[in-house]
């Protein structure tokens, strides 16, 4: 086999293997492979900054090396069914966002069963308030703050924005949210069928309060909803229904449906090796640029 053909085959094999690891629930090897290229990115990483009193109230900030002020700030929450995951596994997300010229804040939050709702929502609000208050220290603009998440993290980003109780509790200290970016998020996921999910969002009379779609309002910020149509973990109707509800009250919403992608593919496409699978990063850049127009 010619050397160039062998190289192409090897690259395809690596990409297929990395994609498979993400498809199998973002296993540890998948994160390792995804994060390896991100270590050498053109950014400075500030790690384990406390945004609250609990051990899980920690975040990492990624700042592009190129000197500039008033950068957009993007706060990202990981997925993991509200019960697992860690910011360190998503270095590739911080690196990709910094590559776009944003200050990226990758935040941890408390998980079930340590807390139930609204515990992790309170953590999301606290992290967003911290990001707004400290944006200037990293060259970011408080008035250009975006909230973003994948899977359970997308539910956090959407609900903390739409349900006024969370950020409203901070009064004048609450930041202005310029937009929400949701990847494969659960926004309209009743009925709750699994026992642990029923417990973390219960009792039953409180289930409706976990659904971002129930808090849609006309003055909500613009939203970008990215969804793989082959997602068997969070059904595509979550993004489709939320987009329709937002659009019905006049909220600018961009719905991107990727035909061949599954649940983890939307975030995995932010890794260096898998960017050809989907235009996740390009769609995020377009969305943030539109907010500055």
Collect the ranges in the chain with pLDDT lower than 70. 1-40, 67, 293
Q: Determine the Cα–Cα distance for residues 174 and 167; give it in Å rounded to an integer.
A: 6
Residue 7: give the domain boundaries.
3-292
Give the model's pLDDT for residue 66: 82
Give the model's pLDDT for residue 165: 97
The enclosing domain of 84 has a CATH number of 3.40.50.1820
Give the model's pLDDT for residue 3: 42
Give the model's pLDDT for residue 23: 45
| Whole-structure pTM value | 0.90
- CA angle at 150 for the pair 149 and 151, rounded to the nearest 5°: 120
Give the model's pLDDT for residue 110: 98
Give the model's pLDDT for residue 293: 66
Residue 159 per-residue DSSP state: H
Task: Check if the beta carbon of residue 126 is closer than 8 Å to that of residue 52.
Answer: yes
Give the model's pLDDT for residue 39: 63
Q: Determine the Cα–Cα distance for residues 56 and 84; give it in Å rounded to an integer.
A: 11
Give the model's pLDDT for residue 69: 79
User: What does the pLDDT look like over 153-182, one tens digit per residue?
Assistant: 999 999 999 999 999 999 999 999 999 999
- Closest among 263, 77, 60, 62 to 180, alpha carbons compared: 77
* Helices 28-35/3-23 angle, 10° precision: 130
Q: How many domains does the chain have?
A: 1
């Amino acid at each position: 086999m010619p050397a160039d053909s062998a190289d192409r085959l090897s690259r395809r094999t690596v990409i297929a293997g990395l994609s498979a690891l993400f498809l199998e629930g973002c296993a540890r090897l998948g994160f390792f492979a995804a994060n390896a290229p991100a270590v050498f990115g053109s950014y400075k990483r500030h790690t384990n900054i406390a945004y609250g009193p609990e051990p899980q109230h920690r975040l990492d900030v990624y700042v592009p090396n190129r000197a500039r002020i008033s950068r957009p700030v993007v706060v990202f929450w990981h997925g993991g069914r509200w019960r697992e995951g860690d910011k360190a596994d998503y270095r590739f997300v911080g690196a990709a966002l910094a590559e776009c010229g944003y200050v990226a804040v990758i935040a941890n939050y408390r998980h079930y069963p340590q807390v139930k709702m609204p515990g992790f929502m309170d953590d999301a609000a606290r992290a967003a308030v911290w990001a707004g208050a400290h944006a200037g220290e990293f060259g970011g603009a408080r008035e250009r703050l975006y909230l973003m998440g994948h899977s359970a993290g997308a539910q956090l980003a959407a609900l903390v924005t739409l349900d006024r109780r969370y950020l409203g509790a901070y009064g004048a200290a609450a930041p202005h949210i310029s937009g929400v970016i949701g990847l494969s998020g659960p926004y309209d996921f009743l009925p709750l069928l699994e026992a642990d999910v029923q417990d973390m969002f219960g009792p039953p009379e409180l289930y409706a309060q976990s659904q971002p779609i129930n808090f849609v309002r006309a003055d909500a910020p613009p939203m970008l909803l990215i969804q793989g149509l082959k997602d068997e973990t969070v059904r595509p109707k979550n993004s489709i229904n939320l987009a329709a509800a937002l659009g019905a009250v006049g909220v600018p919403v961009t719905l991107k449906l990727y035909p061949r992608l599954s649940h983890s593919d939307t975030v995995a496409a932010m890794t260096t090796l898998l960017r050809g699978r989907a235009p996740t990063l390009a769609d995020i850049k377009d969305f943030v640029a539109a907010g500055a127009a």
